[in-house]
Amino acid sequence: MIRLFLILSFFMFGQGDTPADTTALDSRDSVSVSVIRVEGAISPTTTNYIRRGIDNARENGSVCLIIEMDTPGGLLESTKNIVQTFFDSDIPIVVYVSPDGARAASAGTFITMAAHIAAMAPSTTIGAASPVSGSGAQMDSVMQNKVFNYSESFIESIAERRDRNKEWAISAVREGEAVTESEALELNVIDLIAEDRDDLLQQIDGRTVEGDTLRTTGATITEIPQNLAENLFGFIMRPEVMLILTMIAIYGIVGEVTNPGAIVPGVAGVIALILLLYASAAMPINIAGFVLIGLAIILFVAEAFTPTFGLLIAGGAVSFFLGALMLFQDLPESMELSWAWLVPATVLTTLFFVWIVTAGLKIQFSENRTGVETMIGQHAEVVDKVNSSGGRVFISGEYWNAYSDEEIEKGALAEVEEVKGLKMKVKPVSDITSSSRQS
C-alpha cells in the first residue's frame, strides 16, 4: 500500500509541475522585441515611421522597441516631434547607433539622448549637433541665433529628462563637439556599448525602465520595415527629387498649354505639381525660391513675343538658378542640394524654353494654318474662264467654283481673296504670272 501511495504521489506532483514549467518556458519564449531601422536624413517620413513602429510594437506586445540608427542629421521640427513621441511612449525605446562606422550626428544626437536606453556599436560617433544652414555654414543672423538658443535649451531639457550629461549636450550644439562611443559612455551620454543586436539584448536584460524590468535575453525579434507609402513619400521629399518634380510640372503644364490635346504632358505635369505641393507642405521650403522660379517662367515666355536677342532668356536662366538654390536653403546640410543638380537643371530648363516652348507659343498665337482660311492670299490656276458669273480654279489639288469682278482667262493665275462656303472670290495676278513664266 505504501509503495502504491508513493507511485500515485509521484505521478500527481509530476503532472502538476509540468504545466507550470511549460508555462514558464512559453512565457519566456513568447517575449518579443520590435526593431526598426532609420537611415539617412531625419524628415517627416522618419517621424511617421517611428510612430508606426511604436504602435506596432505595442500591438505585438513587445517589451521594447529598438531603433537602429545611422543618420547625418535632419530637420529640427521632425526631431522635436520624434523626441516628444519618445517622452509620450508607454513602451521603452532603445536607440542603437549601428552598424560599425555609423553616426548619430546633429538631429541624431537629440534622438539618441531622448531614448530610454541609448546604445552605440563600436567605431561609431555622436555629436556635431550645431544648427547649420542649407549651405553648411553656421548661422549667425538674429533668427538663426534664436534657433541656436532653442536647440541648446532643447537638448539640455532632454539630458535632464534622461539623466544624461547636459554640459556635453550643450557643447555638442554650441561648439559642434562630437565623440566616439567609448567617450560617450565615459561622459554619460549613452548607457552602453554593444557589439551587435544579440549583445544589445543581453545587456539591456534586467534594466529597469519607467518602473518595469526588461527581459530581453532570447527574445523573438520582430522587424518592422518601412511600408510602400513611407518609402514613396521619403523618396519625393528628397531635394533633388523635388527639383525634378518642379521641372516636370513646368514642362508638362507649359507643354499642354502650347500643344492642346496632347494630354500626357498635362497629366504628368499636374501629378508632379500635386506631389511637389505635398512635399513642400511637409518641408521647410523657402517661398522666395518659388517666386523666382515663377519669374523665370514669365521671362522665358516673354522672350517668345519680345525679341530681345536672348536677354530675357538669360535673365530667366539666372532667375531659375537662384530660385532653385533658394528653394532648399532652409534645409540642413545633410539635405542640401548640390550644384551638380542645380546647373544641369538650369541648362535643361533654358534649352526647353528656347527650343520648344518659344516655337510652340509662336505657333499657338499665330494665324490659322489649317482649313480654307489658309487659301486666302494663295495663287490658283484658272481652268475655266472666271468672271462675275462664275468659273473654276485649281488650288491645293482641288477644283473650286470661283468668281471675280474682273474677267480672268483660262490658264492664268488668280489670287484668292475670300472663301464663302464652296465658292471663292479671286482676282487676276497677271504680273506674277508673267514673272513666273520668265523665271
Highest mean pLDDT among 32-36, 266-270, 303-307, 434-438: 32-36
pLDDT, residue 299, reads 86
User: Nine-digit cell at 199?
Assistant: 549583445
Rounded Cα distance between 169 and 163, Å, is: 11
Contacts of 381 (CB under 8 A, 6+ apart): 393, 394, 395, 411, 412, 413, 414
Average pLDDT over residues 343-347: 87
Contacts of 284 (CB under 8 A, 6+ apart): 75, 77, 330, 331
- The answer, yes or no, to whether residue 283 has pLDDT greater than 90, is no
pLDDT higher for 353 or 41? 41
Rounded Cα distance between 361 and 378, Å, is: 25
Rounded Cα distance between 110 and 126, Å, is: 10
Q: Are the CB atoms for 402 and 392 separated by under 8 Å?
A: yes
Tally helices (H) and strands (E) across the chain: 16, 16
- Would the pTM count as exceeding 0.85? no
Task: State the first-to-last Cα distance of the chain, in angstroms, to the nearest integer.
Answer: 142
Q: Are the CB atoms for 32 and 221 separated by under 8 Å?
A: yes
pLDDT, residue 364, reads 56
pLDDT, residue 142, reads 62
DSSP assignment of 128-182, as one string?
----B-TTSPBP-SHHHHHHHHHHHHHHHHHHHHTT--HHHHHHHHHT--EEEHH
Q: Is 63 exposed, middle or buried (0-12, 13-18, 19+ CB in 10 A)?
A: buried
Helices (H), 330-429: 339-352, 358-364
User: pLDDT tens digit string along 379-408?
Assistant: 899 998 888 888 999 988 888 999 998 888
Query: For residue 368, what pLDDT band results from cuts at 50, 70 and 90?
Result: low
Average pLDDT over residues 39-58: 93
User: How many of the other CB atoms lie within 10 Å of CB of 403?
Assistant: 16
- The answer, yes or no, to whether residue 82 has pLDDT greater than 50, is yes
359 backbone φψ class: left, alpha, beta (φ>0; ψ -120 to 50)? alpha
- The answer, yes or no, to whether residue 114 has pLDDT greater than 90, is yes
| Residue corresponding to grid cell 526647353 | 352
- The answer, yes or no, to whether residue 8 has pLDDT greater than 50, is no
pLDDT higher for 436 or 123? 123
Average pLDDT score over the chain: 82
- The answer, yes or no, to whether residue 17 has pLDDT greater than 50, is no
User: pLDDT tens digit string along 21-30?
Assistant: 333 334 445 7
- The answer, yes or no, to whether residue 135 has pLDDT greater than 60, is no
User: pLDDT tens digit string along 149-208?
Assistant: 888 999 999 999 999 999 999 999 988 899 999 999 999 999 999 999 999 999 999 999
- The answer, yes or no, to whether residue 231 has pLDDT greater than 50, is yes
pLDDT, residue 156, reads 94
- The answer, yes or no, to whether residue 49 has pLDDT greater than 60, is yes
Domains of the chain, each with CATH number or no CATH = 29-230 (3.90.226.10), 237-364 (no CATH), 372-434 (2.40.50.140)
**Alpha-carbon distances of 244 from 121, 236, 239, 272, 344, rounded to whole Å:** 37, 9, 9, 9, 11
User: Could you tell me which of 242, 233, 250 has the C-alpha nearest to residue 337?
Assistant: 242
